[in-house]
Structure 1
Amino acid sequence: MYKTLGTHNYYVYILTNKTKTVLYIGITNELKERLYYHQNPEANSKAFTAKYKCFYLVYWEHYNDANTAIDRETQLKKWRRDKKDALINEFNPDWRFLNTEI
């Protein structure tokens, strides 16, 4: 079944580890489900988030268009760490872990 125009959901999100020293930027159309898979990696997973224990959501943006979301993810990944930190600080000044709020 096809979704009607404007009902698609895409999320660009940033995860961090418990000590907030590592950032991971990703994109998904099911943020809650994706967070679950990050927090419950397969055994012996070589995924970045599993290796660096980036399970904690600190930032997200919502888009209705996949290409716009992909472009934004690409843009954020090119940013220096200080610029990413400033973005998170503006959205989530205390760097609270937002996993349960999604």
Structure 2
Amino acid sequence: MATSHFVHILYSEKHHRHYVGMSRDVNSRLKSHNEGKVTSTKPYIPWKVVHVEAHTSISQARSREKYLKSAAGRRWRKNNLKM
């Protein structure tokens, strides 16, 4: 089965903020964020992709996204993503 779902972490250098999301097309999603089409991220433009993980199912991707948004996931981001 082909990879079809991606979990991505975006970072706003200007505001020192992360955003964890899931998409089938990371580049298109990044463009939406940077064009201000996503309400929750609009105040923190510009964004850049700092991490992408490929998953073969939407349920795997959703589980990983949920983990990365948890306290343990924030610790993982702090330890593994050097900003």
* Both proteins in one fold, TM over 0.5: yes
Change (3 A) 1:72 1:55: same
Displacement over 2 Å in runs of 4+: 79-83
Question: Which AA in structure 2 matches 1:86?
Answer: N
Selected match of 1:71 from 56, 63, 69: 63
Do 1:12 and 1:73's aligned partners in 2 also have CA atoms closer than 8 Å? yes
Q: Secondary structure at the match of 1:48?
A: coil
Number of residues paired by the alignment?
82
Q: Percent sequence identity over matched residues? A: 22
Do 1:28 and 1:34's aligned partners in 2 also have CA atoms closer than 8 Å? yes
Distance 2:12 2:26 in 1: 17
Partner of 1:9: 4
Do 2:3 and 2:56's aligned partners in 1 also have CA atoms closer than 8 Å? yes
Provide the TM-score with structure 1 as the length reference: 0.69
Partner of 2:28: 33
Distance 2:7 2:31 in 1: 16
1:84 aligns to 2:77 (yes or no): yes
Q: How big is the alpha-carbon RMSD for the aligned residues of Structure 1 and Structure 2?
A: 2.0
| Unpaired stretches in structure 2, ≥5 consecutive residues | none
| Unpaired stretches in structure 1, ≥5 consecutive residues | 1-5, 90-94, 96-102
